[in-house]
Structures are given as structure tokens and as C-alpha cells.
Structure 1
Amino acid sequence: MNGDNGTSTQAPQMRALLFTDLCDSLILVERIGDAAAAELFQAHDRLVLVLQQQWNGRLIDRSDGLLLLFERAIDGLGFALDYQRGLQEIGKQRNIVLRARAGLHVGEVLTWENSPEAIKVGAKSLEVEGLAKPMAARLMALARPGQILLSAVAESLTHRAVGELGERGERLVWKSHGGWRFKGMPGRQDIHEVGEPEFAPLRAPRGSPKARRAVPLWRRPMTLLAEVALVAGMVFGTWAFLRPTPAIAFGERDWVVLGNLHNLTGNALLDDSLQQAFRISLEQSRYVNVLSDMKVQETLERMRREGGALDRDAAIEVALREGARAVIVPTVAEVHGRLRVSLELIDPNTGNTAWSDHADGRGMESLLGSTDDVVAQMRVELGEAMHDISRDSMPLPKVATASLDALHAYAMGVKAYGDGRYDDAQRFFGQAVRFDPDFAFAYLAQLRIQWGRGNPEGARQSLAAAKRAAGRLSGRDRLYMDAWDADLNGAGTLATAEKWKLLGDLYPDYHGAHANYAWSMLSVGRYSESEQAARKAAVAQNPLQAMALQALGRAELAQNHADAALRSYRQSARIGQWSVNRHMVAALAAHGDLVGAQRMLAAAREDDLAMHLEGTAVALDAGEPAAALRANAAALRHCGDNARICGMFQAQSLSLASIAVRKAGAHEYEQLIATMIAQAADPAAGERGEWLYMAAASAYLAQRAELYDVARRQLPHLQRLAKALDDPRGTQMVAVLVANQDRVDGRAAQSVQRLRALIDGSELFQVHVALQDSLVAAGDQVAAAAEQRWLATQRGRAYAENAGSYLLQALNVHDSRAAQRRLDATSLQ
């Protein structure tokens, strides 16, 4: 009859097969009677029908049990779980116990539809055959009442997709029951169990004549008896010379993924606060680095799981994608009236738990101590000696905060900062320090926000508060604070750079140190060093990789590698919010694509000061002085009350006057230079080196406008400040000013000598402009022509030089373009 088929697949198909069996059904019928049993089985059939529709299953066969076919293994598991729960509800309503055993397997099957004629005489509508069918049946037969057993392939597929079950999936318990051999089935089969703790037995299945454990020869009873004596004699000697090895042999600088806290207490306050506690405690390890929340979320987005929880399976996939060595999953639960903090260490390559441990305590105040205890134990397992942990680490209440409320607010601030919600982040960090006025981590977090918003005074106040609580910081974070201290309190660019370099050398995976060192080197013209540091920061594990790529691109552009710079900027745009930005504009223009640069400028907001800065330079590059004036005027309208930024744009306006794009009188130069000198001379002012450079550059612009007396009158003040502040860029700009004055006063040879002494690869672009003028005045046309060729070919450097917040960028670009035009004119003669 089965051969009377209507439609055949003609080829094997991969399907999930679920066998279930209602336990002790015959005994049940005898006990409750035929009428009650008929009503019970009607309720059972209604349950099956509903679940079939819900989980897209197709019922193939039924008697005391069911055979169902599913397209996806996770649907089969969902059916089995809901079936177990539904049976319990039906039983409760009738005061009886209903349980079923289930077996789920995924494999190839052949299916065919029987003809209508065959169905009329009793055939099933769909036939299923293949080795997968008896395999699923064997699994079901092996299961205990209430137990769901899975084959290895079914376990792998369902475990990977368990997130689709929502919160219920997080409660599931997965257990391996090892290898088994089934009668009539080839090879060893790995059996797994999954279930909800309140329903599943979570015990090893009972063997039968058709199924037995796959026990290796050396573990069989007779063999074991023969081995016991030998093993017992060796144990003591072995223990004396060997110690247990870590579950995963970690090396220094390995990466780990910290999964979301599994909070079983019902107290939502613990979700973020304990998660942050685990992160802070783990980050004190010299052996491992914790993949940041921002990087994890970026990876989840690539996995198309935006905003999803970092459960076990998601964390494993993130670890595999990012090359992390392990996944760490923390849990907090109430057990027998005590709070238990647990850690599970998972090998992402196998998905197996390599190590787990817990610490118990009484009351909420015990949680941070328990966290310290279990993390310290795990760090021993990672390969760190206990004396190293004691040396490098402090307990959480000492290194961070003893207040769970403060830790919760700090964790919320970190999340908001990662999402770019800086107002919310500042509010959360402020609340954290109100809960705990000695929370140094929170003050440093406030510092970053205030500095990024151009509020150096607010940043200095946060720094002072962090310094008062410096005892709360780990060694690494104290170095981080020291670098900011040097930067904010006028230690000088090079001194600050050395602080960042020290931090990066001691902690090679502290990406912020490398990125800040890269920008410091860029600001003093050491472009090759800047590029090397930026490459260390522009790695996939850095949550701010997009920003590090911006630094890398600028260093490449400054070395006239415009193609490489464009690649870095485009990569930054792909992974961050950088599709329209001034650095890309500069690279496009330096590469010769002025149309592309202008198109990007046109897409910018009216109040985007950085784009107006680049817009002025691009307009001069394109030979459009009116557009340059408009860009500069727009910047001046929107610079607000930031004295340094407005002063920079005023000086840029004077650079346009110095090349006759606009008119300016001596008083305009005098007034601006005097204001800048006053700021540079004020011990209470911040960024005094920047003010010195801007003042000297403005005096140089007066020389370029042939207002030599203006520069002559200010030069003594500038020289005294240069000596006092020892800022490399400010001091070099004053030296250019002096050399120019020598040329104007008829000492061209002396001017040439001064300027050549400045050339070491890190010199300002205008050193070569001034040197060209002095060589012409000295009558050395050959050397002057060489300088002219240098200026014409250094378009990337003209755009990338950032001294004085790019004050002379537009002038640099103008001078490079002018040198190219003179070379073109010479070649035509």
C-alpha cells in the first residue's frame, strides 16, 4: 500500500524528527476508566493540534505517542517543551500525573505523499523513511519520563538558535550524557538533554537491551579492577610533583568575552551593577583583556542581533568572530537564603564549560566580596599565580566603590556613553559620585565627556576630584589619570606624549593610550611615530576603532600617502559614524578630487566648524577666494563663546588677508596677537602652548602682509614665552618669525641658516615657505627651486598639519598650490 504513492521528493531532505511517548498510558486508562480516558485524550489531541500550528510541525504518525516532522530543529524543541508543560496542566486539572518522553534528531529523510486512493483505505497521507527515523525513536525510548533527549546534531542546532525562545530559552538547562551505542545503529552516538529545571529530570538515561553507554575498554569493570592498584600507587607521587593545570591555558593579553549577567534573584538593580563589577575585577588581570561593551554591540549588529542580550550562544559567536580565547558567564542567585555568585568559563571552539566555581554570602553587602573571590579563583585557573593577583589587584570596594547604587549608576553611564548619549552619561556619572563621592572611575568618565565637549575647566575639576580619590584606582588607571593630568595642567605636548607612551608600553592592549599618543605625535609633526601608534589602536578589539582609523588616516595623509589615507577613512566610515567628515574632505582634496571634497562639504551642517575650516582650504585650493571668505565667515558666526576656537578662526581670517583675499589693518593683527599673548602668559589659563603658537603664527601672518612693525613689536614677548613654555610647535613658530625678520632686515644668509636648523622631518610646513623666500633673497636659485618642488609635492602635509588647531592649513594649501602653478609655468617656458 505504501508503494501507491502520489508525490515523491525523489531526493533526501534534512528534517528534524521528534518522537514522543505518553508514559504509562495503558495503566492510566485502566485507572480512570474509558469515558474519562476518552475525554483526556481529546484534550491531549487539542493540545497537539495547537502546538503543531504554533511550531510549524507536521504530524506523521500517532498511537500512544507521536512522530512529528519539522523544518527546523528549534521548532521541534519548542514543541517538545510546550508539550511537556501542556501535559502537566492537563494532568493537574484531572488530579493525575501526565508525563512524556521525547527524542529529537536531525537527519536526512525520504518523504512521499500517498495517493488519495491509498489514504481512503487507511494509508497515512505522508510517509517518512530513512536512518534518521529509527535514531529519533531510539532516543525517545532511552528517555526517562519527562525527559527530552537530543542527538549531537540536534543539540548543536537548537543550542545555537535558543535565543529565539526568548526569556524561556535563558532558563533552559543543557546537559551532556556522553556517548551511547544503539542496537542496529552504526558507531557511537553522543546524547544530550535539555529541559526546564521544574520539569526535566536532568539525569542520565537508563540503559536497555537496545541502548547502552559507550564505555571504553579501560573503564569496564574487570579492567578497572586490574588498574586500581597501579593507579593508587601512582597518585601520591604524582601529586607531589604536579599541580592541576588550568582548564584553558591562557597567555598574557588573551581576549575574553564577558556574557550578560544571569540574574536569578529578581532584583533588577543587580543587572548592570554586578556586570560592571565583574568587568572592573577582570580588567585588573595582567593576563586577559575584556572585549568592551561597545565592541560587543558592534559585533552583534554585524550578526543582525542589534540590541540583543549577550546570552551564552551569542557570546560564543562574538568570541569566535573576534578571536577571543574564552567566554565568561556570571550568575547571581539566591540559594538556601544566601546569595551565590557563580562564574562559568566556556571554550568558544567547543561550547563546553571548561571551568566553573561560585562564592556564597549573606545579604547584598556580600556581593562585591563574593565577586572578588570567584574572579580571583578564576584568574588562578587562567594561569596567574596568586602572588601576582595580590600584587596587581585590589578588592572591588577599594578599587571602585562599596556602593551597589553607585556602581549601578556608573554602569548606566558607561552604556549611555557607548551609545553616544553624552547628556545621559554625564547625568548617570554625576549620580554615581553623589552616591559615592570617592568614586574615582566616575570622575575620570566625567573628565572624558567634558574634554570632548571643549570644556577644559570642567575637565580639570573632574581630574582634581579623581586625584583626591586616587587610592581607588588600579595601577593602570592611575597612569591614565597621570597622562590627563599632564595634558590638562600644561606639562607640554612631549611630556604628555611620554605619559601616553608609557601607559601603552606597559599595557599594550590599552587602545586609548595608543590613540592619544598617536594624536600627540601628530601634533608635533612626528608622523611616522603617529602612524605606528595609530595602527596599534586601529584594531578590531578597540570599541573606538573608527576614531583610531581617523588618526591613522591623518598620519598617512601627512606623509603624502593620500591613497592609504582614503582607505583608512573609508574603513572608518563603514564601521562608525564618519561618512561625512573633514578628514575625508582633506584626503580627497589632497588626492586631487576637489569635486568630491566640495560635494562632501556641501552636505555638512551650517554649524559644523570643522567642515568650515577644511572648506576654507579647499576653496583656496580650487581657486575660489570668495568661497573661502564665506566658509571663514560662517565659522566665525558659529564659534560661540570658546575663546580659543574663535581666536583660531580670527587668525585664519588674517591668513586670508595676508594673501590679499581680504583687507586687514595693522590694528586688527595687533589686537588679536595681544589677546593671544595674554592667554599664553596667564598661568591659570589652559593650553598655553597652543596660545603661544597662535600668537606667533598671527605675527607671522602680519609679516606675510608686509606689516613688519607689528611682528617686530611683539617678537620680544613671544621669545620670552617660548623660552618659558618650551612648547615645540610654539617655539618653532617663533623661530620662523625671527628668521623672517632676519630676511626682512637684510640678513638672508643668517635666515637660511636658522631655518635649515629647524628641518628634521617634523618641521612646520611654513618653515619651507620661509626658507624658499630667504634662499631667493640670498640669490640661491637652485636651492630655492628645490624648496618650491618640495612645497608643490607636499599637498597631504599641507592639509594634515594640525598645529594651532589647523590655524595655517588654508595658507599651507594656498602656498602648495602656488608653488605648483609656478612649476607649471616654468615647464611651459
Structure 2
Amino acid sequence: MQQVPATPDMDATAGAPAPRVHTLLLTDLCDSVALVERLGDTAAAELFQEHDRLVLRLQQQWKGRMIDRSDGLLLLFERPVNGLGFALDYRQGLEQLGQLRGIGLQARTGMHVGEVLTWHNSVEAVQAGAKPLEVEGLAKPLAARLMALARPGQILLSAVAESLAHRSARELGARSEHLLWRSHGRWHFKGVPTRQEVFEVGEPGFAPLRMPRSTPKAWRDLPLWRRPMALVAEATLLVALGVGAWFIARPEPAIAFAERDWVVMGDLRNLTGNALLDDSVMQALRVSLEQSRHVNVLSDMKTRDTLSRMRRDPVVSRLDRTLASEVALRDGARLVILPAVSEVGGKLRLSMEIVDPHTQTTIRSDFVDGRGLESLLASVDAIALRLRGHLGETSTSVKAASQPLPSVTTSNLHALRAYALGLQATRQGKWQQAMQMYGEATTLDPEFALGYLGAARVMVARSERPAAMPFLDRALALRHRLPDRERLYLDAWEAELRAPAQALEKWQLMAGLYPDDFAGQANSAWHLFSVNRMDEALPFAQAADVPQDPLRPLAADFLARILLAKGAAEPALKRLREIGNETQAGQGRRIANVLAVLERPAEAMAALEAIKPSGYAGTDLVPMIDRVSLALDQGKWAQARAAADGALEASSTQDAFLHLQFRFISGVVAQMAGASLPRSARAATAKALVNAMADPAWDPSNRADLTSMLLANAWLAQREGDASLAADALRQVDALPDKGRLGTTTAALQRIVQAGQLAANGRHDEASRLLSPRADDLYQSRVALYRVLAASGRHAEAETQARWLLQQRGLAYVEANASQVLQPLNVADSRLARLWLAESLAAQGKSSQATAEMQVFLRQWPASVLSPQLLSRAEAILSASKQKITA
């Protein structure tokens, strides 16, 4: 026999083969004999020729060495990742070959890493039919056992092959992010002395990901209690116990997921090449899953916000396995859902993986096949229902909260995609683009209710509520085409725009039925806050102030305002600092308010001065209200007057509503400085307000605020002894055709002015009864009550009201009243309350206490800044204790 030259697999000094570690890959083409019978010899020969070309190309690409071939292949690779790359591409290549001929073409694959001996046969032996290269060793039958165990299309790996391949899988590029790895437990292989753990690897929607079937040469390593004979005995007992246990407790779901836990939706992996599916499938999945009250889906807006905080571009970043898992960990989501759509065997396959974000491993996967695009929405419904079941939702709940997508969205995929793009533009504040997309969606499907609702939302966001009404009405006409949650949302907005008094009830209903839909929670908090029901508002604001809320800064702002109104200034400041955005008008104003209540006026003014202009007059002028209030708080009348006059002049050409507000505020400043406006000036303000109320161009919510300002202007006049303006204002309000829609602030001011008229006529008892304390009182309601009680000689009761006013400085600053137009008056009265307390104490003969309170008052508003009237009142109290005022 011819001598064999030494090779890298041979010990050159000993002249004998030396074992080396290799990756062995074995494949078997499933049902190859039946395939030949079906295709015929000629067609089968052509197929196998293409198959051979595929194998040769992949062998060269992945640097493999062919050892043997027939119906199957035996290849050697230097690295496991190369063997894995070959196996994955081979599976995909077989599928494509089969699709061209309308047949299913699959292979079983097994891969192992171990030591083998290799040697070259002589030329004579090869010419006689031997293989050029021989491979022997225990690793070879191990790989063969794995291959034989695999199901069609399944790639099985030994433990050592899985460990090495998994570690270096990132070298496969982007596809590695979507690979599924699963253990199928320990197995006994015939002829192999030790048990072997078997793993599977594959791509979602293609890998079987199922336990292999036991064969005579490979069987699972089961404990004694799970073996057939033991199972017979166990089954009898378990059936009896199981029936009883079912009625005691529902079995635990297969996945650790609790009711109302959160999931993050990864971006769709679209393998079809059809761009129409990119947005439409994702939107359909969201709508279908969001019908559940068991599963919460993190909103797209919140997801993109989190990406921004991660310093990732939310527009171009794809939520793949890694990025979606990081978002889930940051936002407290329990799981990640990774959807994919592909074409398999002429069918449209929608698949979905459930991923643990901590380990990024796939917990479960599922898929649904359909024929053609028309099957897609049904597939989405089917896979969403399965997913909800996997996550522990009861079948009863699933059935109760599930409507077919075509009936609650649209059957037109182009319309669905336009709607999805409209939502995306809405999230980015691109209002015109959003309206174009919603218009396209409703043109393609005139009964697409969600499209009209989306357009109404944009108009409300743009503060164009009248323009929202046609879209709202169209959505209302099609409300049967909306999911349950969106119907509640629509009803709430109808109340908001048409019957504000009913809006709170609608938002509370939504918050109760869908506690993790933050529109219900945040809007309930706002409505309760706006009517001073702070204790009730607090839990709603807390429920919305969570990481999953896409508008969390807004909810946190509500929470901070509520805390300040309840007297918790330090916690309010802490929460506001956590939000950030301190140079924006809203945040800067609120921080200044809290600092003023904490008696830190210099820091409060610095917070106001740090606010950056937005370029929008309505936003940039509002902080002037806080500047006026802060100046009044310190008794700086000239500074308050300059701020009010500057805002009055700027608003005259920029914002009609703010201009009317600052006309009223200028009157407040004049009154506090002891230089009250003439009656003609207050009458002119009242006339301007009445004319504005009659203008149909005003938003209904603005008309309610205008009516409140008319009554507040009358109240200022009453405080100076002028009752005629009050009578006129009350007549104007009584004559309004829609006064039932004016809200609680207007009603409270109406009671204040009515009580003022009664008191002016000496009917103090009637006035005090009209002003009996309520949980939702305005700050000015208690001011009016104090004045009535003091004027009627009920000084002990007046003292109680004065102390209440002193304790509610937080409320004085943040009360919502008519767009905060009463804030400067409230703040000034919160200082005057100290004088009122001193007067009530003095009237009761408590001279020392009265003197102490008056000294505090004079430290806050020095005698040098007091109007002659206030100065004389202070002197009256101090003279009783023989003390003098030091200017």
C-alpha cells in the first residue's frame, strides 16, 4: 500500500493519527425516496443537482470539509459557529428550493463538538470506492444520534456544541439577535455511557422548538415517577386530586406574569419585503392586545421617550431583542414580545416570541399561518388571543374582552397603515402630517372610527376644540366600530367638550375599568384638582405618576400641585426637581410657587427668571401672573404694578384671553397698594368680559373662565363697597343660556358675589349660610366667609377662617380657578389673613396674641409699604398694647 504523507491531523513523529477536536455536522434530507417518486427521476435529478450546488456554495462560505454524502451530509468545521451558520443557511436554502417546486423540503440536523481521528485513504482505495477522508471517534455516533432524533427542520446540538456556538453567535450578524435557543433536557443515547443534554437552535417562525420524539436509539432521561408504569398509578390519584384542586384555585400560568403586568412590543421583523405590513401589523397587534384588561402594553410614545433618555434616536432605532429588553428593564415591564411576519410554503406566517428581558432568552414562541394579505388581521387576532392565554388570562376574560379587528379597526390594511403613521406623527407633534394621515385612513375606509377619533385628538391638542367637533361626531356615529376602551375614551371627550360637568364621572369610569390607561387616571386627577378636591385627586395622580405613563411629567406635575395645595411643600419641591425641565414655563412656575410658600422669595424669582422663552405668547406671558403674585407676597407694590402693566401691554396684541386676565389682575394690584381703580375702569373691564362671553368664537372652556372673571371683578368692587357692578354681573350670569356648563369655579364665585350682596344689605346670617364651608371651596370662598363673620361680630368663627387661610398658602398659589387668574388676589389675601387673625383675636380680648400676630404681619409687609387704611388698622391693634409701629 502506498505510504500516506503526514497531514495536520497526524502525529508526524509517531506516524499514527492523532485525535483532534472538530465540529461535526450531520444532516438527513427528509422523505427523499418519496420525493423521487413524487417528482419523477428527471425532475428529482435536477433538484438534487441544485441541492449539490447549494451545499458546495455553503461549504465554501462556511469553510467546511465534506466527509460523506448521500441522502444526507457529514461535514467537519473548525469552529461551531461555522457549523451553525451552515445549518441555518442550509435550512433556508432547502425551503427556497422547495417553494420553487411547490413542495416541502426539510432536513434533520445534528451538531456535536468532540475529538475525532481523521486520515486519508490511499489513491487505490479511493479509486475502489473508499472516501478520500475517514473520520472516526465517539463524536461521530453522538452527532448521528442527534441528527436521527431531530424532527424535520430541527437543528439539535449537544451541550458542548450549544455552549461554544451560543457564545460566538454574534459573529452571524443581525440574525443572531433573533435566534431561539432551547434545552430539551437530558437524553440516553444507545451505546453512549453518559446522559447527554440536548439543545435546539432556530429562527422564530421556522424552528419547530418542540421536544423530539424518543426512538429506540435515543430516549429521555425521566425520573422514576414520570415513567409509564409509575404514571398509570399516579394518574388515578392525580385525577381525583386535580378535580378538587381546580375548584380551590386556578392553576398557575406557565409564564411568571401577573394580572396588569406590562409588556414591551419589539419592532416587527418583516421578512416578506412588503412595506405595507411594517406599520399595519404593529398597529393591529397593539389594538388587539390592548383590548385585554390582564395584559398592559407599554405605549409606543413611552417606549420612544425611554429610547431618547437612553440617548438612542427614537426614529431610527429598532426595538430588537437587546434594545427592547433594556427598555423593559428601565420601565418595569415583565416581558418582551417580538413579532415577525414571513412567507413560508406559500403562506403568510405571523409569529411571536415571548422573551425574558433579564436573560433575553425566549420563554415561548407561537405562530399562525394564513393565505394572503386578507388573512393577516385574522392571524393577528388568533395569535393575540393565544398570547393572552400564555400570559395567564382566563378564557372567560379573553372572550369577554375580544372583538375581531376588522370590526373595531378596518379591514383595509392601507387604511390601517395610514392610521399608524398618523399616530406616529401625533406622537412627534407633527399636527399637519397627522391630520393628512388620518384623512387618508378615513378616505380609504369611511367607517374607520379610530381615524376620526385620532383627528379629534389632534384638534384638541392644538387647542382648536370647535374644529374637533365634526371628527368627534363622526366617531360617535361609528362608536360600535371602536374597541371598548376607546368607546369610553370617546364618551369622556364628548362630555369634556359638550357637558363638562359630566366629564369627571366619565374619566373616573375609565380609570376604574382600565386602571393602567393613564388618560382616565390623569384626567380624573386634573378634574378633581381643578375643583379643589385634593384628597380625592391624590390617588389618581399617584396612579398616573408611574414609569409606564408616556405623559408622566404631566402626571408628576399634577401630583406636585396637589401636594403643595395639601400643605406638603417639601415633597412637592422634591417631585418637581425630579421631573427636570426647570427652564420650561410650567415647571419653572410650579417650582417658584413652592419656593414662595417655603418663604424663599429670592430663589422663587430666580426660578421664574430661568424660564426660557418658547416663542408662543400664551406660554411666555403666563409666568407674569407668578411674578405679580410673588411681588404682592413681599409687599412690593411697584414691582407688582410694573409686571402687571408690562403683561397687559404685551398681551394686548398677542393674546386676547390673557389681556382680559391682566386687566383684572391690574385691578388686584391697585387695590392691594391702596390705589383702587375708579368705578369706570372696573365697569370697562366688566363690559369687555361681557362682550367676550357673547362672542361665539371663544372655546366653551374659555367662556366659563370669562364668566368667572366677570364675577371676580364684581367681587373686587364689593370689597371696596361698590355693589352695583355685582348686581349687573349676577344678572348677566343668570341670563346665560348655557350656565349649567360653567363649572364649579363659576358657581363658587356666584355664591361669593351673592353673599356679598346679602351682607351689604345687613343679611349676614343668610350670607354666612350661603358660604358654609365645603370640601371644594375656593380660597376666596373662605375670604368672603371671614369678612361676613367679622362684619357680623362672630369673631371666634372669623378667627377659625383666618387661621385656615394662613394654613392654605399652597392652595392660594396653585388653585386652578379660571386659569389661575385669582392667584395674585389669593396670595395677597394669604398675607392679609395675618392681619385679620390679629383683628379677630383683639375683638375677643386676646390682646397679647393679637399683638404677636400683628408683629409677624409687619415683618412680612413692613409698615413703610402699607396703605393708609391698612396702617391705621395695624396701629389700632398695637395701640391697645401701648406698642408703636416702626417704619
CA distance in 1, matches of 2:372, 2:781: 68
Match of 2:685 among 651, 669, 672: 672
Match of 2:415 among 386, 397, 406: 406
CA distance in 2, matches of 1:311, 1:770: 62
- With 144-153 and 428-437 compared, the bigger mean Cα shift is at 144-153
Maintained 8 Å contact 1:372/1:396: yes
CA distance in 2, matches of 1:156, 1:633: 76
CA distance in 1, matches of 2:572, 2:193: 59
Maintained 8 Å contact 1:657/1:705: no
1:216 aligned to 2:218?
no
Secondary structure class of the residue paired with 1:402: coil
Residue 757 of structure 2 aligns to which amino acid in structure 1? Q
Residue 627 of structure 2 aligns to which amino acid in structure 1? G
Maintained 8 Å contact 1:80/1:148: no
**What does the per-residue CA deviation read over 1:193-226, in whole Å, with 9 as the maximum and x for residues that have no partner?**
657899999999999xxx9987234499xx65x4
Q: How many residues align?
A: 718
1:798 aligned to 2:812?
yes
**What does the per-residue CA deviation read over 1:9-45, in whole Å, with 9 as the maximum and x for residues that have no partner?**
xxxxxxxxx9755889xxxxxxxxxxxxxxx9xx999
Maintained 8 Å contact 1:740/1:751: yes
Match of 1:529 among 527, 536, 541: 536
1:510 aligned to 2:517?
yes
Match of 1:367 among 371, 376, 379: 376
Maintained 8 Å contact 2:415/2:440: yes
Secondary structure class of the residue paired with 2:446: coil
1:557 aligned to 2:564?
yes
Which residue in 1 is equivalent to 2:747? 731
1:691 aligned to 2:698?
no
> Normalising by the residue count of structure 1, what TM-score does the alignment of the two structures yield?
0.73
Maintained 8 Å contact 2:407/2:481: yes
> Normalising by the residue count of structure 2, what TM-score does the alignment of the two structures yield?
0.69
Which residue in 1 is equivalent to 2:593? 586
**What does the per-residue CA deviation read over 1:509-544, in whole Å, with 9 as the maximum and x for residues that have no partner?**
221111101111111111111112111111222222
CA distance in 1, matches of 2:766, 2:237: 87
CA distance in 1, matches of 2:744, 2:213: 79
Structure 1 unaligned blocks of 5 or more: 1-17, 25-39, 49-63, 68-75, 89-98, 105-135
CA distance in 2, matches of 1:559, 1:82: 64
- With 714-723 and 276-285 compared, the bigger mean Cα shift is at 714-723
Question: Structure 1 residues 587 and 439, CA, compared in 2 at 3 Å: closer, same or farther?
Answer: farther
Residue 725 of structure 2 aligns to which amino acid in structure 1? V
CA distance in 1, matches of 2:281, 2:359: 27
CA distance in 1, matches of 2:665, 2:165: 63
Which residue in 2 is equivalent to 1:617? 629
Secondary structure class of the residue paired with 1:481: helix
After superposition, where does 1:310-459 map in structure 2 within 5 Å?
Answer: 310-346=319-355, 353-384=362-393, 386=395, 388-459=397-468
Maintained 8 Å contact 1:143/1:206: no
CA distance in 2, matches of 1:375, 1:570: 40
After superposition, where does 1:725-804 map in structure 2 within 5 Å?
Answer: 725=741, 727-755=743-771, 757=772, 759-804=773-818
Maintained 8 Å contact 2:419/2:441: yes
CA distance in 1, matches of 2:326, 2:212: 30
CA shift for structure 1 position 348: 5.1
Secondary structure class of the residue paired with 2:664: helix
Which residue in 1 is equivalent to 2:479? 470
Match of 1:814 among 787, 807, 828: 828
- With 662-671 and 261-270 compared, the bigger mean Cα shift is at 662-671
CA distance in 2, matches of 1:570, 1:805: 24
CA distance in 1, matches of 2:291, 2:298: 14
CA distance in 2, matches of 1:737, 1:618: 26
- With 258-267 and 448-457 compared, the bigger mean Cα shift is at 448-457
Secondary structure class of the residue paired with 1:536: helix
Secondary structure class of the residue paired with 2:292: coil
1:717 aligned to 2:732?
yes
CA distance in 2, matches of 1:467, 1:396: 19
Maintained 8 Å contact 1:549/1:571: no
CA shift for structure 1 position 550: 0.8
CA distance in 1, matches of 2:812, 2:388: 50
CA distance in 1, matches of 2:781, 2:509: 31
Which residue in 2 is equivalent to 1:275? 282
1:825 aligned to 2:825?
no
Match of 1:651 among 649, 656, 664: 664
Maintained 8 Å contact 1:346/1:353: yes
Maintained 8 Å contact 2:271/2:341: yes
* CA RMSD between the two structures: 4.9
CA distance in 2, matches of 1:186, 1:303: 51
Structure 2 unaligned blocks of 5 or more: 1-19, 27-55, 65-75, 92-108, 115-138, 149-153, 839-851, 859-882
Maintained 8 Å contact 2:225/2:231: no
Maintained 8 Å contact 1:21/1:140: no
CA distance in 1, matches of 2:592, 2:643: 14
- With 518-527 and 358-367 compared, the bigger mean Cα shift is at 358-367
- With 581-590 and 558-567 compared, the bigger mean Cα shift is at 581-590
CA shift for structure 1 position 595: 1.9
CA shift for structure 1 position 149: 5.7
CA distance in 2, matches of 1:45, 1:338: 30
CA distance in 2, matches of 1:684, 1:428: 28
After superposition, where does 1:158-173 map in structure 2 within 5 Å?
Answer: 167-170=174-177, 172-173=179-180
CA distance in 1, matches of 2:563, 2:645: 30
Which residue in 2 is equivalent to 1:126? none
